Chain A
């Protein structure tokens, strides 16, 4: 079975600072996809960043980047130059190539002005 663990239920960061959200997962698969989704208050979840497991290079999207450690089964999200609009619940998710996504319990991030 696939499991995704986010060990930080809540985090906060000063505006313009950098924060890292942790995620670990457990799988016996070799090919899979990892994602970070963001859910702002009262809004739908949107994709932040995606990583294919076969790619060694860490994905980046503007201020968002990941540290993907396949052997350690770790997939952390780094947010640089944090902005107030980054305040949201962040979910780490895993997909092995079928249609089923496995989500973590989420990390609530608050950006403090």
Chain B
């Protein structure tokens, strides 16, 4: 069964360093997302991406964040200068949109745990 894959599973970085989290969405999906979950808190929406551009983003997704689909298969989240509060589990997700309506199902990866020291 196809699934969303994420790498790395865990990354430790120093504050101020750049981090790139990678995701390979399910191949026939059209919408891609990044969510994050700070330990003990709710899963929060960061950004959605469709047709090679951002379609929605939250207030969390500031200028330090960027997303890219560089080669038609990978979907990356870059954090330019990490802060302590960026420590979280980052989930990539993808979905397929029907013509009639959104199916409503997000397919999630297992997450990338980012620890900023």
Contacts and interface: CB of A to CB of B under 8 A. Distances in A.
Interface of A: 4, 33, 35, 37, 42-47, 50, 52, 91, 93, 95, 97-106
Interface of B: 3-4, 31, 33, 35, 41-45, 48, 50, 55-56, 58, 91, 101-102, 104-106, 108-111
A19 B58 CA distance: 34
A41 to B, nearest CB: 11
Contacts of A97: 101-102
A103 B55 contact: no
Contacts of B35: 101, 103
13 contacts: A33-B104, A44-B91, A44-B110, A45-B91, A45-B106, A93-B43, A97-B102, A99-B55, A100-B58, A101-B106, A102-B45, A103-B43, A106-B42
Contacts of B110: 42-44
B56 A99 contact: yes
B42 A95 contact: no
A42 B109 CA distance: 11
Contacts, number: 57
Contacts of B104: 33, 35, 50, 52, 95
Nearest to A52: B104
A37 B106 CA distance: 9
B102 A105 contact: no
Given A99-B48, A100-B56, A100-B58, A47 B43 contact: no
Contacts of A50: 104-105
A67 to B, nearest CB: 19
B60 to A, nearest CB: 12
A98 B43 contact: no
Contacts of B109: 44
A105 B41 contact: yes
A105 B42 contact: yes
Nearest to B44: A103
Nearest to A46: B108
B41 to A, nearest CB: 7
